[in-house]
Amino acid sequence: MRLTFTLYKYFPYGGLQRDFLRIARVCLQRSHTIRVYTLEWEGEVPPGFEVIVVPVRAMTNPGRYEKFVAWIRDDLRRRPTDRVVGFNKMPGLDVYFAADPCFEEKARTLRGRAYRLTRRYRHFAAFERAVFGVESRTRILLISREQQPLFVKHYGTPENRFHLLPPGIARDRRAPANAAEIRAAFRREFGLGEDDLLLLQIGSGFKTKGLDRSLRALASLPGELRARTRLIAIGQDDPRPFLVQTRELGLDTRVDILKGRDDIPRFLLGADLLIHPAYSEAAGMVLLEAVVAGLPVLTTDVCGYAHYIDEAGAGRVLISPFDQARLDSLLAHMLVNERSRAAWSRNGLAFAETADLYSLHERAADIILDTRS
């Protein structure tokens, strides 16, 4: 097959972008051709990929996205392919990888009525309806079972168009046989003593992932506990607002904010707790990456993969509505309770041995390449 993939932006450290790349590579390995349309591409182009950076400009993102779709439509008329797979909601897709939550639900529950009069609302609502509306034939690859009822509620999407995928954790996230050695070397490199505690937060989009909540929780710790606790946040985003917050909370020496990087498994093995108090998260791959590395997790129930933390017994999940004081209390409890952290770690490693947490990308490729559709 000649396959087309579309996404607004590719950069190496985004969760959606990593899923796109791994799915496309599986299809390439099965001898299908890969063409990619995008507005921005950061990093190397994989061998065998035809990447087209679409040359459109506009004053606003909605305007640019509309020109992007029109440009692709015209190019596909000249050079047709067999299937169009989208990683952002837009018209003209045969298959959509549902990495983002339901826009219409957020617009109606988190915004005032005036928002629905804006051009931005009209654009994103129309692009979402083009995928989920009853008149569409787009097949939907779901990574979070919690999102399906919301799309059905707003669009009446037929059941047979949804395909729930298992998670797709990279196997290099699992704790290796020499995990203890890697952890010791990591902690020496970062100057962490035997009694020091390291909080880890990973994910591009610090605002959505709740880094502000994590900083407030760290600042709330009792003095002695705060003095031996550090937070490292890793992701592709502007750190400046959070560096200001760090200074205001008196955490200058306790917090490091790093750009996205390729050695995340070392951090997962070297830390004591993953904190992920997201405001919104369709899935949350990093939650499972922590579980299979044996790193306990503290997260919010809005994350699509949060239920795995409860199923694995690998940490704690905050129930909505979010309460900062509850997060503060749970963080302190988890940090001081070394015996519980050891149990959560063991539970996560055992879960990694038995649960299907790894086959998302192969299963997605199966559906994309299904010739019956």
- 191 shares its domain with 158: no
Closest CA to 5 of 82, 57, 115, 74: 82
**22 domain-assigned:** yes
Helix (H) or strand (E) holding 53: strand 49-53
Q: How many CB atoms lie within 10 A of CB 170?
A: 15
Q: What percent of the chain has pLDDT over 70?
A: 99
pLDDT-based confidence at residue 373 (cuts at 50, 70, 90):
low
Instruction: Evaluate whether residue 308 is within a structural domain.
Output: yes
In a domain? residue 373: no
Instruction: Give the pLDDT of residue 172.
Output: 79
Percent of the chain with pLDDT over 90: 94
One-letter amino acid identity for 3?
L
Q: Assess whether 77 and 183 both reside in one domain.
A: no
Give the pLDDT of residue 33.
Answer: 98
Residues 150 and 19 grouped into a single domain: yes
Residue 214 sits in the same domain as residue 153: no
pLDDT value at residue 173: 85
159 and 207 in a single domain? The answer is no
| Domain contains 235 | yes
Same domain, 56 and 186: no
**Domain that residue 86 falls in:** 2-166+358-368
The sign of the dihedral angle between the CA atoms of 175, 176, 181, 186 is negative
Residue 108: band (very low, low, confident or very high) from pLDDT cuts 50, 70, 90: very high
Q: Is the dihedral of CA 118, 121, 124, 126 positive or negative?
A: negative
Residue 154 domain flag: yes
Residue 12 counted as domain residue: yes
238 by Cβ neighbours in 10 Å (0-12 / 13-18 / 19+) ranks as: exposed
Residues 103 and 244 in one domain: no
Pairwise CA distance, residues 319 & 327, whole Å: 10
Checking if the pLDDT of 146 tops 90, the result is: no
Q: Tell me if residue 135 falls in helix, strand or coil.
A: coil
- Same domain for 149 and 195? no
The DSSP code for 360 is H
144/18 same-domain check: yes
> What's the pLDDT score for residue 214?
98
d(CA 172, CA 195): 28
Mean pLDDT of all residues in 275-281: 95
Phi, psi of 319 (to 5 degrees): -85, 140
321 domain-assigned:
yes
Number of domains in the chain: 2
Angle at 16 between CA 237 and CA 347, to 5 degrees: 95
DSSP state of 9: E
- Average pLDDT in the chain: 96
- Region class of 226: left (phi > 0), else alpha (psi between -120 and 50), else beta: alpha
Q: Is the pLDDT of residue 297 over 70?
A: yes
Residues 297 and 189 in one domain: yes
Residue 76 lies in a domain: yes
Q: Is residue 180 located within the same domain as residue 268?
A: yes
Query: In the prediction, which pLDDT does 170 show?
Result: 83
pLDDT at 144: 87
Query: Looking at residues 252-275, what average pLDDT do you find?
Result: 96
Query: Residue 17 corresponds to which tokens in the numbers above?
Result: 């972008």
User: What's this model's pTM, rounded to 2 decimal places?
Assistant: 0.86
Q: Is the pLDDT of residue 15 over 80?
A: yes
Residues 283-288: contacts with CB under 8 Å, at least 24 apart? 283/15, 283/99, 283/143, 283/144, 283/167, 285/15, 285/18, 285/19, 285/167, 285/168, 285/169, 286/15, 286/202, 286/203, 288/167, 288/169, 288/173, 288/357
Any bridge partners for residue 303, and if so which? 281
52/140 same-domain check: yes
pLDDT 10s digits, 163-185: 999 999 988 789 999 999 999 99
140: CATH: 3.40.50.2000
What confidence score (pLDDT) does residue 371 get?
72
Q: How far is CA 225 from CA 221, 242, 248, 337, in A?
A: 6, 22, 19, 12
Cα torsion 146, 151, 153, 158: sign: negative
> How far is C-alpha 4 from the chain's CA centre?
22
pLDDT tier for residue 97 given thresholds of 50, 70 and 90: very high
Q: Average of pLDDT values for 273-287?
A: 94
Three-state SS for 294-318 is: CCCEEEECCECCHHHHHHHCCEEEE
